[in-house]
Structure 1
Amino acid sequence: MTTCSRNPKDLCAGVIYIAVGLAAVWIGRDYAPGTGSRMGPGYFPTVLGWLLAVFGVLSVLRSFIQDGGPIGAVAWKGLALVAGATALFGVLLEPAGLIPALLALILVSAAASRMFRFEVRAAAGLVALLAFCALVFVRGLGVPMALLGPWFTG
């Protein structure tokens, strides 16, 4: 297959961004959007979907301007670990709570990298990220999630 694109990676990434962005807009079309100061359930998917689609268009345009390398092999291990970590977060959130679910998500996702090593600085960053998420989502935004679920609190 020949194409006039000079950067197949950007072209494929842009097409994926456009598809996912437009899918988010389409899924959120029946929800009330609200306004910027009083957001409805459709505001977030619609705005982020359009932003993602715009980035996709920019990526596609860039693929015709800037040179790039060919598309490499798919990193199946990394793909499986990141997708599995996301599913694991969803499964663990209610019975284990936000902190253990985030811990599992972050550690399993980090294991997808070939450079993953567990060090003291990484552990400190992990603790800071867990505290930040707990403060922002549970305390700041009032999202009704238990920090520790029934598995730990009985």
Structure 2
Amino acid sequence: MKIKSQTDFWSGLMFLLVGLGFAWGATEYSFGNSARPGPGYFPFGLGILLAVLGAVVLFKALTIESEDGGRIGAIAWRPLGVIVGAIVLFGWALPHLGMVIALPLLVVIAAMAGDEFKWLEALLTAAFLTVGSWVIFVWGLNLVIPLWPTFLGR
């Protein structure tokens, strides 16, 4: 069997493995039912969808010829480091600085990893995601997520 697109092959394999890993990890939680889903319901479904997407991309990589063989270039270490660093910073900042500061910080720092960074776009995206996250998670789902920094009191 010949790999006809290396980029599709490796990305499809990654999606497949990560999706199966999440689906398997979600089996440790209660599923509930469709009317009252438990904590394992959503991650299991997303994991299966990601694995199916990976299988489709993997199948495409093995059956459809790409122009240059879909060669994989060098790993972009700087953007990878910036994005991973932004996520680690968000994990620390959320309980300490609250969602109102931590989420825009994550978005702006992660946006700086790209070659076409624009302050206005990053700030508008950060504002939209912060308001949207508040509406969905805090207001809609009643999750207990700190909104403001702990030093401002609760």
Give the TM-score taking structure 2 as reference length: 0.90
Residue equivalent to 1:146 = 146
Residue equivalent to 1:21 = 19
Q: Secondary structure in 2 aligned to 1:30?
A: coil
1:137 aligns with 2:137: yes
Paired AA for residue 88 in structure 1 = L
Q: Report the number of matched residues.
A: 151
Paired AA for residue 23 in structure 1 = G
Unaligned ranges ≥5, structure 1: none
* 8 Å contact kept, 1:96–1:152: no
CA deviation map 1:54-94 (0-9, x unaligned): 00100001112141520111111111111111111110011
Trace 1:24-63 onto structure 2 (pairs within 5 A).
24-63=22-61
CA deviation map 1:122-154 (0-9, x unaligned): 433432222121122111111101210213347
Give the TM-score taking structure 1 as reference length: 0.90
How much does 1:36 deviate?
2.3
* 8 Å contact kept, 1:15–1:56: yes
Residue equivalent to 1:110 = 111
Distance in structure 1 (CA, Å) of the matches to 2:134 and 2:29? 27
Q: Which runs of 4+ in 1 moved over 6 A?
A: none
Between 84-93 and 31-40, report the one with greater CA deviation.
31-40
Q: Secondary structure in 1 aligned to 2:27?
A: helix
Residue equivalent to 1:93 = 94
C-alpha spacing 1:141/1:66, structure 2 compared with 1 (3 Å): farther
CA deviation map 1:93-119 (0-9, x unaligned): 111101111011101100110111213
Distance in structure 1 (CA, Å) of the matches to 2:21 and 2:124? 37
Paired AA for residue 144 in structure 2 = P
Residue equivalent to 1:11 = 9
Paired AA for residue 127 in structure 2 = V
Distance in structure 2 (CA, Å) of the matches to 1:74 and 1:151? 40
Trace 1:75-86 onto structure 2 (pairs within 5 A).
75-86=76-87
| Identical-pair percentage | 34
Paired AA for residue 25 in structure 1 = A
* 8 Å contact kept, 1:98–1:148: yes
Distance in structure 2 (CA, Å) of the matches to 1:48 and 1:89? 22
